[in-house]
Amino acid sequence: VKTIGVLTSGGDAPGMNAAIRAVVRTAIHKGLKVKGIMRGYAGLLQEEIVDMDSTSVSDIIHRGGTILYTARCQEFITAEGQKKGAEICRKHNIDGIVVIGGDGSFRGAGKLSALGINTIGLPGTIDLDIACTDYTIGFDTAVNTAMEAIDKVRDTSTSHERCSIIEVMGRNAGYIALWCGFANGAEDILLPERYDGDEQSLINRIIDNRKRGKKHHIIINAEGIGHSASMARRIEAATGIETRATILGHMQRGGAPTCKDRVYASIMGARAVELLCEGKSNRVVGYKHGEYVDIDIQEALAMTKDIPEDQYQISKMLVR
Ligand code: ATP
C-alpha cells in the first residue's frame, strides 16, 4: 500500500479521534500517504476526501466526537454504490482503508475488500455490541459519563425518597445498562436482552424495598425498552411513591474520552495500519481475552454475543 484512507461511520463514539490520530501518524511513520474521508461512506461517494498530515490530527486525542464527521449512507448498501466507492478510491489512489464504526460499517468494509480495496475495520461504538471483541472504542467513556450522571440523580432521588427511572443508551444491547446497574447500585436493571415486560414484579419489588426502609429505588432502563416516562407514571400510580424518569440521551455519546478509550483506540489504530502494510484486508481489529487480535470480517459478523448471565445474576443479587 502507498496511500490509505480513513473514515468514521455509523454512530459516533468518544475515542474515534484517538483512533484517527493513530492511523494517520502510524501511516506517516511508515512512509504512506493518508487521506481523510469525510462523513463515512456518504462522503466517499461525494468525494469529500482531504489530504492529511501529522498536524491534521494535532490536539484531538482528548476530544469526543470525530473530526471526520460520521454519517449513514443508504446508497452504499447497494452494489452500484459500493462499485462507485471502490472506483473513487482508485481514482484517489487509495489502496487501503481503515473503517471505524459498528457492524453495519464492517459490512460496507467487507464489500470494499471484495472489490479490491484492502480494508480493515476498527470497532467504534458506545454500545459494546460487536460480537468479535470484548472492547469497543467509546464504551468506557459512555459508561463513565452515564455513571456520573446517575450518581447525581441518585443524590436527589434519595433526598426526596423517590423512585427514579434512568434511561441509558442501548437500542439492542444492554451493556451500558448492565454496567451502570452495577456501578450505580441500581435496584433494578432492565435489559433489552432480558426484560419480559413484567411491570407488576417491578412494582412489587419497589413496594417491598420501601417496606424494608430503602430511601430510593433506582431503575436503569435501556433505550431499547424505552417508555420511561409512561413507566414512571404507572409506577407512581401503583405504588404511591413519587417516580421520575430521566432520559440521559446523547450526552452519553460525547465528552472527553477516558484514558482507556484513548489508549485502546490508539493501539487499535496503529494495528490497523500495520495489517494494511502486511497486505491484509477484510479484517476487524478486536480485543479478546486480554489481547489485540484481528478477525476475518465475515467471521466477525457471523458471531453473536449476549449479556453474560452470571454477571446479570450477580448484579441482581447485590441489591437484594
Ligand atoms: P452503530 O452500531 O454505531 O449504529 P454501524 O456501523 O453498525 O454503527 P450502520 O448505520 O448500521 O451503523 O452502518 C453504517 C453505514 O455502513 C451505513 O449507513 C451504510 O452506509 C454502511 N452499511 C451498512 N450495512 C451495509 C451493507 N450491508 N453493505 C454495505 N454497506 C453497509
Decide if pLDDT at 320 tops 80: no
Which residue's alpha carbon is nearest to atom 31 within ligand 1? 108
pLDDT (tens digit per residue) in 146-178: 999 999 999 999 999 999 999 999 999 999 999
Candidates 12, 77, 252: which one to mutate for ligand 1, based on the most atoms within 8 Å of Cβ?
77
Residues 147/180, Cβ–Cβ less than 8 Å: yes
Integer Cα distance of 310 and 210 in angstroms: 27
**Secondary structure of residue 194 in the 3-state scheme:** coil
Q: Which residues 6+ apart lie within 8 Å of 110 measured at CB?
A: 119, 282, 297, 298, 301
Decide if pLDDT at 296 tops 80: yes
Is 76 a pocket residue for ligand 1 (Cβ < 6 Å)?
yes
Which pLDDT value is given to residue 215?
86
Is 39 a pocket residue for ligand 1 (Cβ < 6 Å)?
no
Which residue's alpha carbon is nearest to atom 10 within ligand 1? 10
Residues 189/181, Cβ–Cβ less than 8 Å: yes
Decide if pLDDT at 209 tops 80: yes
**Cell, residue 67:** 473530526
Amino acid at 206: I
Which pLDDT value is given to residue 293?
98
Integer Cα distance of 198 and 2 in angstroms: 57
Which residue's alpha carbon is nearest to atom 23 within ligand 1? 104
With CA atoms as reference, report the closest residue to 7 among 99, 82, 140: 99
Q: Which residues 6+ apart lie within 8 Å of 248 measured at CB?
A: 146, 149, 150, 166, 167, 168, 169
* Selected catalytic residue, list 127, 129, 140, 261: 127
Decide if pLDDT at 319 tops 90: no
Is 170 a pocket residue for ligand 1 (Cβ < 6 Å)?
no
Give me the residue label for grid cell 469526543. Answer: 64
Question: Band of the pLDDT at 61, cuts 50, 70, 90?
Answer: very high
Question: Band of the pLDDT at 236, cuts 50, 70, 90?
Answer: very high
With CA atoms as reference, report the closest residue to 76 among 49, 50, 115: 115
Strands 283-288 vs 217-222: parallel, antiparallel or unpaired: unpaired
Å from CA of 187 to ligand 1 middle:
35
Å from CA of 232 to ligand 1 middle:
34
User: Which range, of 73-77, 124-128, 139-143, 211-215, averages the lowest pLDDT?
Assistant: 211-215
Is 103 a pocket residue for ligand 1 (Cβ < 6 Å)?
yes
Region 26-43 average pLDDT: 98
Question: Where is 168: in which H helix or E strand?
Answer: strand 163-168
Burial 116-146 (b: 16+ CB within 10 A, else e): ebbbbbbbbbbbbbbbbbbbbbbbbbbbbbb
198 among known catalytic residues:
no
